Amino acid sequence: MTDLSIATIDVDGAVQESAERAGFDTRADFFRKGLLAGGTMLAAGAFGGIALPSIASAATPAGDVAILNFALTLEYLEAEFYKQGVAAKFGGATSTLASTIYAHEDAHVKFLTKALGSAKVARPKFDFGKATTDAATFRSTAYVLENTGVSAYLGQAGKIKTPAILLAAATIATVEARHAGAVAQLIGKKVSPDGSFDVGESSMAILAAVKKTGFIKS
């Protein structure tokens, strides 16, 4: 596969700066207000105990809709990757990992498509080649994809204007990080490639890296 390097590009700065850009004074304020917003979310986008306000609402910033569609594109890719990994029946821990993560990624796709409604981007066609037919390549690809997903969500965190959407994105980002750690343990890689603090990447950098793989065909 073409390597997706997890470049240490600190697009939005440290966690403190991301919180400030999202309109919160401190990290504590970030979490406190985010959780409060979660308690008052509209049920229109509810899925799995989390909810998003209706994207059809004129009050939802266009930038937030664009970020959700960016996230959905990545979730489409991951869900299809693991779906094909499950179908490959590698066996052992690899198959267990594939089926577990597929269930999560499929739930993310359903959640985001329901929230976006008619505003959602279309599902692309994919060709993963050897990445979903060879067990070793599948595992190494999974490691890169999951770490890319973490940096993608983090890279957008400071740009999300709607607290409910920020909270929902955070609940997905933490699961992506768990996936990355699980794959790392399986293949003997670093659990946290960037050390004690994750760094975010811009949507342009992420999409360029994904494009280089050739996985997305249309």
What pLDDT, on a 0 to 100 scale, did the predictor assign at position 210? 86
Better pLDDT: 194 or 89:
89
Residues contacting 14, CB < 8 A, separation 6+: 197
What pLDDT, on a 0 to 100 scale, did the predictor assign at position 9? 23
What pLDDT, on a 0 to 100 scale, did the predictor assign at position 61? 87
**Number of domains, the chain:** 1
**Confidence category of residue 215, pLDDT binned at 50, 70, 90:** very high
Q: What confidence tens digit (pLDDT) does each residue in 99-111 have?
A: 999 999 999 999 9
Judged against a pLDDT cut of 90, whether residue 27 lies above it is answered with no
Q: What confidence tens digit (pLDDT) does each residue in 28-79 have?
A: 443 344 333 333 333 334 444 555 655 545 678 889 999 999 999 999 999 9
In a domain, 147, yes or no: yes
In a domain, 80, yes or no: yes
Show the domain range for 63. 15-213
What gap in Å lies between CA 109 and CA 79, rounded to an integer? 8
What gap in Å lies between CA 2 and CA 134, rounded to an integer? 15
Judged against a pLDDT cut of 80, whether residue 155 lies above it is answered with yes
Judged against a pLDDT cut of 60, whether residue 18 lies above it is answered with no
Better pLDDT: 87 or 118:
87
What pLDDT, on a 0 to 100 scale, did the predictor assign at position 115? 86
In a domain, 99, yes or no: yes
Which residue carries 């980002």 as its tokens? 173
What pLDDT, on a 0 to 100 scale, did the predictor assign at position 189? 93
Residues contacting 62, CB < 8 A, separation 6+: none
Q: Please state whether 202 falls in left (phi above 0), alpha (psi between -120 and 50) or beta.
A: beta
Better pLDDT: 6 or 46:
46
Find the mean pLDDT for residues 177-196. 93
Helix (H) or strand (E) holding 68: helix 62-88
What gap in Å lies between CA 113 and CA 1, rounded to an integer? 29
What pLDDT, on a 0 to 100 scale, did the predictor assign at position 53? 55
In a domain, 38, yes or no: yes
In a domain, 218, yes or no: no
In a domain, 5, yes or no: no
In a domain, 25, yes or no: yes
Q: Which stretch of 2-11, 72-81, 142-151, 196-205 has the lowest confidence by average pLDDT?
A: 2-11
CB 71 within 8 A of CB 204: no
Find the mean pLDDT for residues 92-104. 97
In a domain, 179, yes or no: yes
How far CA 129 is from CA of 44, 120, 134, 215, 217, in Å, comes to 38, 27, 9, 8, 12
Record the tokens describing residue 215, joined without a space: 């996985």
Judged against a pLDDT cut of 90, whether residue 117 lies above it is answered with no
**Confidence category of residue 181, pLDDT binned at 50, 70, 90:** very high
